[in-house]
Amino acid sequence: MGPEPLAKNGYLATLELLKSYGGIKALSLDSYTGRSSDKLVEEEYPDTPKEKELNFRLDYVDERGRPMTPKEAFRRLSYRFHGKAPGKNKDEKRLRKEEEELRRKMMSITDTPLQTLSAIQKTQQQSKLPYVIMGGNTTKILAQKTPLPVPPPKDPSKKK
Interval 105-142: pLDDT, tens: 887 777 777 778 888 888 888 888 888 877 766 555 55
Q: What is the pLDDT of residue 88?
A: 95
**How far, in Å, CA of 28 to CA of 19, rounded?**
12
Q: What is the largest CA-CA distance in the chain?
A: 137
pTM of the model: 0.38
Best CA proximity match to 76, nearest among 89, 67, 85, 65: 85
Each residue's pLDDT tens digit, 18-30: 777 776 665 555 5
Confidence of residue 64 (pLDDT cuts 50, 70, 90): confident
Radius of gyration of the chain (CA): 42
Which residues fall within 8 angstroms of residue 129, CB to CB, at 6 or more apart? 147
Each residue's pLDDT tens digit, 79-98: 999 999 999 999 999 999 99
3-state secondary structure of 105: helix
Per the prediction, the chain carries an average pLDDT of 77
- Across the range 145-159, mean pLDDT stands at 68
Higher pLDDT, 3 or 100: 100
HSE at residue 131, side-chain half, CA atoms within 13 A, is 8
Q: What is the pLDDT of residue 48?
A: 60
**How far, in Å, CA of 37 to CA of 45, rounded?**
12
Identify whether the C-beta of residue 44 lies closer than 8 Å to the C-beta of residue 51. no
DSSP H or E run through 74? helix 70-82
Identify whether the C-beta of residue 94 lies closer than 8 Å to the C-beta of residue 79. no
**How far, in Å, CA of 23 to CA of 44, rounded?**
13
Each residue's pLDDT tens digit, 8-57: 778 888 877 777 777 666 555 555 566 666 666 666 666 666 666 677 78
Q: What is the pLDDT of residue 46?
A: 65
Q: What is the pLDDT of residue 11?
A: 81
